[in-house]
Amino acid sequence: MIPEGSLLAAHDLRKTYGSTPALDGASFSVHPGEVVAVMGPSGSGKSTLLHCLAGIITPDSGTITYAGRELSAMSDAERSALRRSDFGFVFQFGQLVPELTCVENVALPLRLNGVRRRAAERTALEWMERLEVDDLGTKRPGEVSGGQGQRVAVARALAGSPKVIFADEPTGALDSLNGERVMQLLTEAARSANVAVVLVTHEARVAAYSDRDVTVRDGRARDMEHAV
């Protein structure tokens, strides 16, 4: 049921919004340090799968196991704590807090985890350097370009030293050059830090940065490597 050595695994997830099923028996697993692309047409349930895996929403049925712990058995507060400590997130847009400076945005997950401000911002700046946006430190998100903002978001996802990064269409709002650069920086940083990445995208070129891809169709996930 749970593939050997997987860090995060889901089995037979079902989730219905109203009367429309978003997930209909989806299964999924990711190993430490692995980059897995979740593909599929719009409305296929990709984002719902990602939200379930990250413990943002709870599936109607099915199991999600993270590092040996059952996610659906946790309380909301426990799942929130898990997200703070072990997960990182990159979304398509609108994810940076507009009133905070870029470095404060990157430091936010650390600070939510209780790291003191100076230490958090020092770490944040290191990650921003890694993603080549360390010169944006004191700027606000409204003052930087889309590609820069997305790199700041990637730096933020990485700054909390997570075990898994969930990226939902991280390049969706970017042109291909910026998109590729963001993907390259994200996957490189994730691989070197042994962070697993669950990457939801509908773009094949973005998915090509993954080690493996999974297609969601009609609420069911198919692991393409094992299907062939």
Q: What is the DSSP letter of 72?
A: G
> Cα-flanking dihedrals φ and ψ of residue 2, to 5°?
-100, 120
Of residues 183-222, which lie at the interface with another protein (CB under 8 A)?
184, 188, 203-205, 207-211, 213, 215, 222
Is 168 a binding residue for another protein by CB under 8 A? The answer is: yes
| Residue 54 near residue 62 (C-beta atoms within 8 A) | no
The rounded distance, in Å, linking the Cα atoms of 9 and 186 is 22
The least distance separating another protein from the CB of residue 5, rounded to whole angstroms, comes to: 21
Is 127 a binding residue for another protein by CB under 8 A? The answer is: no
| Distance, CA of 162 to chain centre | 10
Q: What is the dihedral of CA 156, 180, 146, 167, to 10 degrees?
A: -40
Among 28, 66, 89, 127, binds another protein (CB under 8 A): 89
Binding site for another protein (CB under 8 A): 41, 47, 51, 54, 56-57, 77, 79-85, 87, 89, 91-92, 94-95, 97-101, 104, 108-109, 111-112, 117, 140, 166, 168-169, 172, 184, 188, 203-205, 207-211, 213, 215, 222, 224-225, 227-228
